[in-house]
Structure 1
Amino acid sequence: MAVQREPLLNPVPVKELRPTQITVGMREVALKRQMIRAQSVKKTGTFLGTHMVPAVLGPKGRHYVTDHHHLARALIEEGVKDVLVTVISDLSALDKDSFLFVLDNRGWMHPFDENGQRRDYAAIPKTIAELVDDPYRSMAGELRRLGGYAKDTTPFAEFIWADFLRRRIDKDDVAKNFDKAMKEALTLAKGKDADYLPGWCGPTSD
C-alpha cells in the first residue's frame, strides 16, 4: 500500500471526516473550543496550519482520522468548516471490511465505548459530531496536563489511562465533583499499580 506523508494541498470539510473511535472527553473538547474562541481568526488559521489532522484514506476516498478527534469536534462546534489533513496511508483500494481490519491491527482504531467495552466496528460513528462523551477520557487528558503522566507515543495512550481510572474511581464521583476525583486520580497515577501505563512517571517522595 502507498504511504503518503505530505499534507494535502486542499482542505477537507471537517464534517466529512470519519472517526476511528467511539468516544471523546467532552471536557477536552470544551477546552479546545475555549482556545479557539480566545484567539483571532488569523491565529487560529496559523494553529491549524501546524496541527494538521492525520488520517488514513479509506474506501470511496473518505478520510478516517487517527488523531486529533477532540480538535476536530471542537472545530465543528465552533463552526470551522475546513481543516488541513495529512494522509498517513492510502488504503482506499481495500473493501470496507478489510480496511477496518487493517486499521484495527495497525493501532489506528479504538472501538471501545464510554463504558470501556470493546464494540463491533459498526458502533464507530460515521461523523465526528456523533462521538459519545467518556468522562474518564476527560480525566486522562486533565491528568496529563497536571503532570500525572508524560506524553507518550503509544497509540490511544490517553484511553489506556482512562480505562485505568474507570476501574478505580466511581463514575458518580466524577460527575459530582470532578476536581476531587482528579486529586484521587493524581494519587493513583503515582502508585505502583499504574507502572505498566504509557508515560508513567513513577512515585513521588511527597
Structure 2
Amino acid sequence: MASLRIEQLRPTQFTHGMREVRDKLRMYTSLAGHELDMAIAEKPIPFVLGPGEVPFAIDHHHVATALWHAGIAHVPGVLVSDLSGLEPADFWLTLENRRWTHPYDPHGRRVSFTDMPAHIWEAADDEFRSLAAFVRDTGGYEKSTVPLAEFRWADLFRQAFAPPGNDAAFASLIERGVKLAKSGAALGLPGYIGTSAVQNESAA
C-alpha cells in the first residue's frame, strides 16, 4: 500500500459527478479521528505510474476529490501497473486498451488526451454521471466490477433525459432513471437487474 499526495494524483477521466462528490464529502466531514481514518483506509485509490513516474488514478476519482475538498492531503493507494517507461502517446493508448480511461466530456463527446485535467478535482461536472450513481444506490441496477460501468449508464440517461436545471429536477430524474434502468432499454448494461424487477414492484 502506497501513500499518495492527492495534489499529485492525475485523473484518467475527463468528468466526474459533483453531486456524488458532495455526497461523499458530507460523509467524510461527518467523521473524525479513528472513524475518519478507517473510512479513508476502506477506499484505497488504484493507480498506475505514468511517464515521469506520475501517479494516475484509474478508479475512485470521486473519493479522492471529496477527500481533497475535506482538506485531506494523502490517500492510500494500490499500484496496479508501472507504465512509467512509456511515451505519453503509448501510455494513454495502453490505458484506453485496458479500459482505464474515459476521455469524454459532459456531453459525451470525445476529447484529446492532452486536454485531460491536471488535477483530480479539476474534472468537469457531468450531471448524468451523478445520476448514474444515485440511480444505482436507489436500486436501479447493481454495482458492477466492469470498468467504467457507471459511465455507460450515464450515457443511457444522457440520451433519454434533458440535463436537470436544479436540485428538484435532478431528484425527479432519479425515479425516472430507476424505471429506465429496469426497463428493456438498459438490457446488456453492467449490473442490469431486468424487467422482472419492475413487474415484481408493480405486483407488490
- TM-score relative to the length of structure 1: 0.92
Q: Does 1:164 align with 2:156?
A: yes
CA distance in 2, matches of 1:72, 1:99: 22
Q: Secondary structure of the equivalent of 1:177?
A: helix
CA distance in 2, matches of 1:176, 1:146: 16
Aligned mate of 2:24, from 29, 32, 37: 32
Q: In the comparison of the two structures, how many residue pairs are matched?
A: 198
RMSD between superposed Cα atoms in Å: 1.2
Give the unaligned 5+ runs of structure 1.
1-6
| Equivalence for 1:87 | 79
Residue 178 to residue 102, structure 1, CA distance change in 2 (3 Å)? same
Aligned-partner residue type, residue 94 of structure 1: L
Q: Does 1:41 align with 2:70?
A: no
Aligned mate of 2:9, from 8, 17, 31: 17
Give the unaligned 5+ runs of structure 2.
none
Q: Does 1:61 align with 2:53?
A: yes
Cα deviation per residue 1:3-61 (whole Å; 9 max; x = unaligned)? xxxx22xx211111000001110000001100111111321111222211000011111
Q: Secondary structure of the equivalent of 1:101?
A: helix
In the TM superposition, structure 1's runs of 4+ consecutive aligned residues that sit over 6 Å from their partners are none
**Alignment map for 1:1-206 (pairs within 5 Å):** 7-8=1-2, 11-172=3-164, 177-203=169-195, 204-205=198-199, 206=202
Cα deviation per residue 1:44-96 (whole Å; 9 max; x = unaligned)? 11122221100001111110100000011111111100111100001111111
CA distance in 2, matches of 1:187, 1:47: 32
Residue 175 to residue 47, structure 1, CA distance change in 2 (3 Å)? closer
Q: Give the deviation of 1:174 after TM superposition.
A: 6.5
Q: Secondary structure of the equivalent of 1:83?
A: strand
Q: Secondary structure of the equivalent of 2:160?
A: coil
CA distance in 2, matches of 1:174, 1:159: 21
| Equivalence for 1:3 | none
CA distance in 1, matches of 2:115, 2:168: 28
Residue 102 to residue 80, structure 1, CA distance change in 2 (3 Å)? same
Q: Percent same amino acid at aligned positions?
A: 37
Given that residues 174 and 181 in structure 1 are in contact (C-alpha distance below 8 angstroms), is that contact kept between their aligned partners in structure 2?
A: no
CA distance in 2, matches of 1:42, 1:22: 33
CA distance in 2, matches of 1:172, 1:69: 23
CA distance in 1, matches of 2:59, 2:172: 29
- TM-score relative to the length of structure 2: 0.93
Aligned-partner residue type, residue 99 of structure 2: G
Q: Secondary structure of the equivalent of 1:85?
A: strand
Given that residues 135 and 174 in structure 1 are in contact (C-alpha distance below 8 angstroms), is that contact kept between their aligned partners in structure 2?
A: no
